Structure 1
Amino acid sequence: MGQTGRVQELWRALSQVALADRSLDDVLGEVTDIAARSIPGAEATSITLVRGDKAFTAAHTGEMALAADELQYERGYGPCMDAGRAGVVLRVDDMRTEQRWREYTARVLEVGVRSSLSMPLPYQGSSIGALNIYSTQPAAFASQDSEEAATAVAEAVAVLVANADAHDRLGAHAHNMRLAMESRAVIEQAKGVLMAQQGVDAEQAFEVMRDASQRYNRKLRDIARGIVESTQRRQ
């Protein structure tokens, strides 16, 4: 298969990654697996996301990738972090002779990394992180095939990360909204119980629950749920 066909296969595989009913971690884990299988020379891959001043590994395939990433986070610099922050491609052909990150390269050799390729994840004119590819062999990514394949994967990964992140935030928001609605419903039920039992109005019933919440250091919805459940048990 030629390079054009390989890139088309990459896009096909990435386009088939499902987002619905999956966590962001799960989606990104599948993406790193695809990258590890598809990029010539790759032995381990990871996705570094940059949020403000913080960088972290969102997913990885191969423990070597995670170890190499974390060595960079400890120091606050390195090829994957610099690629993600600056939006530039950074390739290291041989960690033994690399001069740009001397403390990092000395340590990363200990975990088996000899060469690496870090591709920025471009999104809306900026970079949201980097796709990191590692090998135990020198110059594993020196060929044009490796860089072209990695570029194609990084572009697709950036879209998937952004979409999956948005989907994840939407799911969390919906979950929080559902909890809020359920809490409101049980509070209204409990107010009705207190109004019937104690002959108080709605505002006074709410004050009774709020006082109990403060006195027993329990959430208001838990106090309300206890009132409703106690009434149901007596029926």
Structure 2
Amino acid sequence: MNTGQSPVERTFDGAIEQVFAGGSRPPVGRYRLDLATGTWAWSDEVYVMHGFEPGQIVPTTPLMLSHKHPEDRARVDGVLRLAAETGRPFSSVHRIRDAYGRTRTLAVTGQGRRDPVTGQVVELFGYFIDVTESHKEAAAREATASIQASAEKRAVIEQAKGVLMVVYGVGETAAFELLREASNLANVAVRDIAQTLVHLFSGPGVTVFPTREAIDEFLRNPVPPGDD
């Protein structure tokens, strides 16, 4: 279906849709960069992203780069230089420090415009998208998942160690060594060995605690998960 959009506009809209797909809509602002003068035209949203009131300052390339996070500055400068040379669509996600010293994460997507007579790239234009909150939310989700996975991992290992401590009358360290040796034999993670051992006495249909002989056999010939 013909939407009436140019290929450039579709490129920009596609990039923005990818950001929006992550959750709530982040702030979006437009920009234009005059390559001959190095001056930028910002919509009000871009001023706000950088910690300024609309029209408070005259945005220039040196000013822009001064606000980039030191670890991202050279990469962003390289992206802009390449875009100025080729005019091809580009995108980048990088951090800035706004006028208040706060770190924000911006996505920028753009495209060059060529002079119809000389064919030279004379202007870059596109969107800034403030994805700070989206990144925070994603990081929080990842951290929560990591903490939960770590807690589950520790829990199943503690259960397996407890079984071995009771069955063999050994201490916590010795019980863990038994798990580690079985892990090495099966060439799988200690957590997987622990999980399989716990399954021996708590899995569906298990009505009796496994004998010491059964646990001996398991430790001698540990079965990786999914192979039983």
**What TM-score results when the alignment is normalised by the length of structure 2?**
0.45
Bigger relative contact order (CA 8 A; separation at least 6): 1
Pair member with larger Rg: 2
**What TM-score results when the alignment is normalised by the length of structure 1?**
0.44
Q: Pick the structure with more helix per residue.
A: 1
